[in-house]
Copies of this chain bind each other. A is one copy, B any other.
Amino acid sequence: MGGQEIEQLIRLLGRLPGFGPRSARRVALYLLRDPQGRLLPLARALERTGAAVRTCSTCGTLDTVDPCHICADPLRDHGLVCVVETVGDLWALERAGVHWGVYQVLGGTLSPLAGMGPEDLNVDSLLRRVESGEVREVILALGATVEGAATMHWLMDALGQHAGVVVSRVAQGVPMGGALDVLDDGTLAAALGARRPA
């Protein structure tokens, strides 16, 4: 339908999360109806972002600069590091505006079944920051899942060797089995506010 280019576009759109063949066709048609106003601006935004995106070597988030906007912000509290699983979790906390420190994005959780071990987590730059003495408190903001709990315990062990660093964990508000980035701002604020020593 409509030539190889259009079919290829629909195929690629159909692979996006939350997409099926129907939504892929609907989005393709929406874009194709106005190439100048819709399709090409999106193509250019993707191109620009793809060329610019990088992983922050300090915290591991995705940004267009390294260090990222957060790590480079002198107004943020660099002694207060919030550890999250994913960039999506970091975005959720930033949208809620409830954390004035910095972050560490692990890029996942410990999961023997998924073959994720400690060496697969982005923790080296966190341990370096802790060793340098600049970190006062580490907040563990991981999901209330089996993997999140295992990761939290492993991190508490690793961080426990550094006297003088308080390790806390978000407690109240994260529902069992829930992921952080589906919570509303108020719940996130409550979870962060009611954190307790790990």
Contact = CB atoms under 8 A, between A and B. Distances in A.
A160 to B, nearest CB: 31
A61 B2 CA distance: 8
Question: What range describes how many residues of A lie at the interface?
Answer: 35 or more
A43 B46 CA distance: 5
B32 A49 contact: yes
A68 interface: yes
A51 to B, nearest CB: 8
Nearest to A88: B29
Contacts of A53: 2, 5-6, 32, 35, 39
Interface of A: 1-6, 8-9, 12-13, 15-18, 23, 25-27, 29-33, 35, 38-50, 52-53, 61-65, 68-69, 86-88, 90-91, 94-95
26 contacts: A1-B91, A1-B94, A1-B95, A2-B53, A2-B62, A2-B63, A2-B69, A5-B45, A5-B52, A8-B48, A9-B45, A9-B46, A15-B38, A16-B31, A17-B26, A18-B27, A29-B91, A32-B49, A33-B62, A35-B50, A35-B53, A39-B46, A39-B49, A40-B46, A43-B47, A43-B50
